[in-house]
Amino acid sequence: MDSILVKGNGALNGVIPIAGAKNACLTLMPATLLSEEPLTLTNAPRLSDIRTMTQLLQSLGAEVASLQDGLVLALSSHKISNHTADYDIVRKMRASILVLGPMLARDGHAIVSLPGGCAIGARPVDLHLRALEAMGAELDLRDGYIHAKAPGGRLRGAVFAFPFVSVGATENALMAATLAKGTTVLENAAREPEIVDLARCLRRMGAQIEGEGTSTITIQGVDRLGGATHPVVTDRIELGTYMLAPAICGGEVELLGGRIDLVGAFCERLDAAGVNVTETARGLKVSRRNGRVNAVDVVTEPFPGFPTDLQAQMMALLCTADGVSVLEEKIFENRFMHAPELIRMGARIDVHGGHATVTGVDRLRGARVMATDLRASVSLILAAMAAEGETVVSRVYHLDRGYERVEEKLQACGAHIQRIAG
């Protein structure tokens, strides 16, 4: 298993291009199952999760070609030849559940293994299933698989209010509703930019959708969808992650393709911590105002709140802040697994339930640490770049699921970081 060696160093200066969003691409790809005609996605990220979704779609009979070094994905699902999403692929990635709604909507039946993914809390899929049931799906959970059928071969429009916000369940229901008979109203829907991106792509395919980006999405089902070409929205989590690099190390970094509207709540917290973010013609420029950032409190919430996917990275910054910060995790109960690893590097963190209290120290120290999940891995790299001495981050396969060419992007700004094959 590969590991990453980081030597703590000074300021970072340079330019980092931000890729298309992993989480958007992972929901756009299954949208191919809704149509017989081709779907082309541009600005795709080059990540192992995208390769896993490719394998899953291919196992269902879709054609997926990776063009222009992976930046373009040409998908085509003339016919779904297999309606079973197998455990061996689904267990690798929770987003696999997103094939359920499209297959069921198009052909009236689907069998999908219950998913796996990052070990950050229980992460059930009950909301996905309840939304599909509201649209008439008959579901049976047997042997670790969801067996789903639409009576008469077609889902029907329904009004469904999510009891709490779920990104994935909103995506599954939205895709399914595009081909349902009649009108579907999704209330308390997720408002994440990835949902907006999916709705735009589906509209390009001929879907009738209104209200994406608000809590109520209305979908008028159509008989069939066509083909489309769609650019994947910028990855706001990759953006936020690299915005933290100059905040932690000093210097000034420009993030190409960065947009404030994608990271508003995060920028507000950065500003409070003493980090400048300015818009440029090409993206965003980030630098620290003083030598040490201020402690700030952070509460993770659904969009437009502070994203849970940036909590671990923000914690890395706050480990060396001046004062005491409290981070509250409201989305995933078990998402502080990076804390013990940061403590190995000299951080002072006390985790109690859904809260972590971080008392800033002058300097972190390099150590051997282990990546426990995707965002945790990159938080350790950020911390290591500002630490004294060398850090070895092991189990970096998590990192490759969500960050393309992380070493290259950071090296280009002067970071001492290298991958050790193992």
26 forms part of the interface with ligand UD1 (CB under 6 A): yes
Q: Which range touches ligand UD1 (CB under 6 A), out of 3-11, 120-128, 136-144, 178-186?
A: 120-128
**Least distance in angstroms from the C-beta of 334 to ligand UD1:** 10
124 forms part of the interface with ligand UD1 (CB under 6 A): yes
Of the residues 99, 262, 310, 331, which one makes contact with ligand UD1 according to CB under 6 A? 331
Structure tokens at 116: 């796996």
d(CA 223, CA 221): 7
94 forms part of the interface with ligand UD1 (CB under 6 A): yes
| 55 φ, ψ (degrees, to nearest 5) | -60, -40
Question: Which residue is associated with the tokens 């509201």?
Answer: 134
Q: Which range touches ligand UD1 (CB under 6 A), out of 119-127, 135-143, 286-294, 312-320?
A: 119-127
| Known catalytic membership, residue 201 | no
- Residues 306-325 within binding reach of ligand UD1 (CB under 6 A): 308-309
- Residues 160-189 within binding reach of ligand UD1 (CB under 6 A): 166-169
Residue closer to ligand UD1 (CB basis): 22 or 106: 22
Structure tokens at 71: 């930046």
**Least distance in angstroms from the C-beta of 398 to ligand UD1:** 12
What distances in angstroms separate CA 248 from CA 241, 287, 300, 349, one per listed residue? 11, 9, 20, 17
Of the residues 83, 92, 128, 409, which one makes contact with ligand UD1 according to CB under 6 A? 128
Find, among 20, 25, 57, 32, the residue nearest to 205 by Cα. Answer: 32
332 forms part of the interface with ligand UD1 (CB under 6 A): yes
| 259 φ, ψ (degrees, to nearest 5) | -135, 130
Residue from 25, 118, 201, 267 carrying the catalytic annotation: 118
d(CA 358, CA 274): 17
Q: How many residues sit close enough to ligand UD1 to count as binding (CB under 6 A)?
A: 20
Full DSSP string of 323-373: SEEEEE--S-TT--THHHHHHHTT-EEEEETTEEEEE--S--B--EEE--S
Q: Which residues bind ligand UD1 (CB under 6 A)?
A: 23, 26, 94-95, 121-128, 166-169, 308-309, 331-332
| Active site amino acids | 118
